[in-house]
Structure 1
Amino acid sequence: MASPALALAQSPPLKPPAVSVTRRIRHCWSELPLDLMRMVFERLGFLDFDRAKSVCSSWQYGSRQCKPSNKIPWMVLFPMDKNYCLLINSEDKEKIYRTQHLGDNFAKSICLTTYRSWLLMQHRYKEKEVLTRTYPKHNVYILDLLTRERINLPAFKSANDGLSNPILWIDEKTKDYLVIGMVDVDTLISFKKGNNSWKEIPQLPKSCTEDFFNMVYKDHKLYCLNCSFLYIFDFLGEVPLKVFRTSVRGYITTKGGYISRPCNPCALNYCKCNIVVTLRGDVLIVKSFGPLVSKTWTFKIYKMDPSTEDNWEEINSLGDESILLELGITVLAKDQDGVTRNSIYFTENKYFGGYEKNGIFIFNLDTKKVEQQPQAFVSSSMPLSHAHWFLPNFKRE
């Protein structure tokens, strides 16, 4: 009789555990369920989305079912006399995207402001009209530069060069929209979906609206700044209501928001003031000082604090947020590739003393240095008519 030890040795070998069998099965990422693939793609920014859809044919198919998420500012550039725009993603400044043809008259228009992927456009004047100041009625329209959807607005008359201090807001889901702007020094007009014509905003005393030089619209509130006061109007109802006023004397020292004074025989300095509303609703005054010839800029930021005697206190940091100056808002920069925290994103599309400061810039409040964007394009020979920071929305409700 065989010993127990020998019997054990001669018995059939034991089957490996089921887990070992499982390990021998190779997972194929290309066979992810479509629902799971959509969940992944919906969480990706534009650059990662673009890379992921190139992995394989099934991922490319899955990418067509969703759109990339975007929380960072892009640059939109307007080449002179062209019917298209150039787009630059802050995550990848070396790549330039070209939009579709945006209409035969696009090159004859100028972008006044942006909201998400929408542009507020106004037809340019002819040189003869500028010289003689015999302006016709002003024509404006709203254009989605990603889908080419266009909303034409009625013409209006203005003593200015069209709408000044323009505001654009649009609801991506309902397509409700609101456009606000000044047509002379004391007249504020608006147009919203459902109206037949532009309307002067009622119940705003002339002493309020006179000399408004900067406005921001956020969460159904209009923030208006002039040389003496900051006003806040509630637009949630049918009629705008003034809900707040505070003095800015001592912080705004010049009519129209600009100071021009000699700095040295070869250069002039100027100061510009902007209202900014942060993500959590704090109200800031941002004063920018910049010479006309060099690229040296300095900024001062004051935060409204009703608990203090004069309502304003100077701050030196934005924390994990960054300012989009021309839009009057902040964006979260923490854990966002392509956004520099504690920085101010701004544009210059103006002429001073024959010198053109036309471009897009970032001022870092930590290093106190300014960087012109994008370096690769700035060095090219293509002239720009305008440039803007904007927040494109690739998703549609």
Structure 2
Amino acid sequence: METPNSTRWPDLPVDILRSLFERLSYIDFHRAKMVCSNWYLCSKQTLGPKGRSPLLLLSPEEGGCRLYNPEEDRVYVPRRYFSGCRFLGNSGKWFLVADSQSNLYIVDVFSDEKIDLPRLELVSKDGCVHNLEPLGDGDFEEMLVGRNYGIRKSAEELRGRVWVDDKTGDYVVVCRFDRCDYMRFCKKGVDRYSEIQTRVGVNVFLKGQDDMVLNGYNLYVFTPRCSLRNIDLSGKDGFEDVTKQPMFTWYKPFPSAEEKERMRAFKPISESYNIAVTRSGEVLLVHNYTYESTTTFEKHRTFGVYKRQLKHLEDPETSYKPWLVEVDSLGDEALFLDLGITLPADATLGIEPNSIYFTRDDRFRLMPLSFLDICVYNLVTKSIKRFPTLSSKLKLKDAQWFIPS
């Protein structure tokens, strides 16, 4: 007769496995279901953990990646090492990854399920004026169609956004090189990229790109002239620029008297502007300001959130003047700047209301004075929470907030 000690882990009874799975944290649950086929099938019959608290994907200087759960104050090592990879953006548990050979793919960081993407040099012939030729070691040469000389581009300059629908499996990827005059995108069912011009043939207020949010098939681009461009990527044939007319500019906010007084005692270090899209579809402007005390030399960071308001002038049909109104509260939402969206706040899941989840300024564009600063900022109390355990345990070159599902 076999003793209980002789029972192999993969052959544990289903009722015991279910009891085990129900006691695991979200990350451990997804790790456990990958042990074997029997455990995976049992996980499908288990409700699993209810928690979907915000997690951090960490990129240590030594390479690879780690997963960090702030609620547990615990660092996890994923099944896959991701050597030589850069994580450009995420959508839930899915991350847009560029490997050491400059191949792009989307990966589930819990299961290693992978979606391969077309090579960047493979673009559609219609409407494209730029070709990319890989040079090795992550470098490219960008050439205008019909020209025999080009400009060298580094994979380190590559920026990207991704959106994945867990229910349908649909996805969209948008990528660009820093300080480039175009973006490229592809989606499920298409084996090559299409090109979106950001300067040639574009309204002067809509030229360039300082920030970008991909929310489903809607692409929002914040331009250097502080205007907002809206592009619909859902069509079968390319894309459609659905920017609303008449055109108006989103002026940057002026500092208040209180801010000016505070700034006299501090030295400014960096300043940036980003956009974010709420659950209702409203676009917000987020002002991020970093300064240093002139006496203690301590660094401080503060945020301001603004929404756009139109004021009618003489002719309400053709004339508009934009006003920026400061938002004192996000209500029952939390803002994740790495994603550029707001999500429902839920104390049971550790998602704090009226809070901004932040990691760095230059997620989308290169900024010489940017630095990694993993924190949660409360808009109401103006307080900021950091995670000292991370800095003491790991030397990080990057980190991204994400919601596992």
TM-score normalised by the chain length of structure 2: 0.68
Q: Is the 8 A contact 1:234 1:240 kept in 2?
A: yes
2-structure distance, mates of 1:249, 1:220: 23
Bigger mean CA offset, 232-241 vs 305-314: 305-314
The 5 Å alignment of 1:57-68 reads 65-66=45-46, 67-68=48-49
Query: What SS class does the counterpart of residue 174 from structure 1 fall into?
Result: coil
2-structure distance, mates of 1:349, 1:305: 26
Q: Which amino acid aligns with 2:112?
A: R
* Alpha carbons of structure 1 residues 47 and 110: separation in structure 2 relative to 1, 3 Å: closer
1-structure distance, mates of 2:43, 2:111: 18
Q: Deviations over 1:196-224 (max 9, x none)?
A: 32221379834466320111111421111
The 5 Å alignment of 1:133-148 reads 138-148=102-112
- The reply to whether residue 195 of structure 1 matches residue 190 of structure 2 is yes
Give the superposition deviation at 1:376: 1.7
Identify the residue that residue 315 of structure 2 maps to in structure 1: none
Identify the residue that residue 303 of structure 2 maps to in structure 1: 299
- The reply to whether residue 368 of structure 1 matches residue 368 of structure 2 is no
Identify the residue that residue 35 of structure 2 maps to in structure 1: none
Q: Which amino acid aligns with 1:86?
A: R
1-structure distance, mates of 2:242, 2:311: 18
Aligned pair partner of 2:113 in 144, 149, 163: 149
Identify the residue that residue 132 of structure 1 maps to in structure 2: none
Q: Deviations over 1:162-195 (max 9, x none)?
A: 4655210122233222111224532111122222
Q: Which amino acid aligns with 2:282?
A: D
2-structure distance, mates of 1:236, 1:192: 9
Q: Which amino acid aligns with 2:69?
A: N
1-structure distance, mates of 2:229, 2:208: 12
The unaligned stretches of length 5 or more in structure 2 are 1-14, 31-40, 122-131, 133-141, 143-150, 255-262, 313-320
Identify the residue that residue 249 of structure 2 maps to in structure 1: 248
Aligned pair partner of 1:173 in 159, 162, 167: 167
Give the superposition deviation at 1:347: 0.5
Give the superposition deviation at 1:310: 1.2
The 5 Å alignment of 1:232-243 reads 232-238=230-236, 239-243=238-242
The 5 Å alignment of 1:94-243 reads 94-102=73-81, 106-123=82-99, 138-153=102-117, 154-156=119-121, 157=132, 158=142, 160-162=153-155, 164-183=158-177, 184-201=179-196, 205-207=201-203, 210-228=207-225, 229-238=227-236, 239-243=238-242
Give the superposition deviation at 1:252: 7.5
Identify the residue that residue 274 of structure 1 maps to in structure 2: 274
Give the superposition deviation at 1:161: 3.6
Query: What SS class does the counterpart of residue 68 from structure 1 fall into?
Result: coil
* Alpha carbons of structure 1 residues 48 and 141: separation in structure 2 relative to 1, 3 Å: closer
Q: Which amino acid aligns with 1:147?
A: S
Alignment: residue pair count: 320
Q: Which amino acid aligns with 1:186?
A: D
Give the superposition deviation at 1:349: 7.4
Identify the residue that residue 87 of structure 1 maps to in structure 2: 67
Give the superposition deviation at 1:345: 0.3
Query: What SS class does the counterpart of residue 231 from structure 1 fall into?
Result: strand
- The reply to whether residue 384 of structure 1 matches residue 384 of structure 2 is no
Identify the residue that residue 26 of structure 2 maps to in structure 1: 46
Q: Which amino acid aligns with 2:243?
A: F
Q: Deviations over 1:235-291 (max 9, x none)?
A: 2222322222453342189xxxxxxxxx79995422111111111222101010013
* Alpha carbons of structure 1 residues 249 and 47: separation in structure 2 relative to 1, 3 Å: closer
* Alpha carbons of structure 1 residues 307 and 233: separation in structure 2 relative to 1, 3 Å: farther
2-structure distance, mates of 1:314, 1:120: 33
Q: Is the 8 A contact 2:161 2:173 kept in 1?
A: yes
Q: Is the 8 A contact 1:74 1:87 kept in 2?
A: yes
2-structure distance, mates of 1:271, 1:86: 29
2-structure distance, mates of 1:273, 1:356: 12
Percent identical: 28
Give the superposition deviation at 1:359: 4.0
1-structure distance, mates of 2:175, 2:27: 35
* Alpha carbons of structure 1 residues 311 and 79: separation in structure 2 relative to 1, 3 Å: same
1-structure distance, mates of 2:53, 2:232: 28
The unaligned stretches of length 5 or more in structure 1 are 1-33, 51-60, 125-136, 254-262
- The reply to whether residue 73 of structure 1 matches residue 73 of structure 2 is no
Give the superposition deviation at 1:311: 5.1
CA RMSD after TM alignment: 3.7
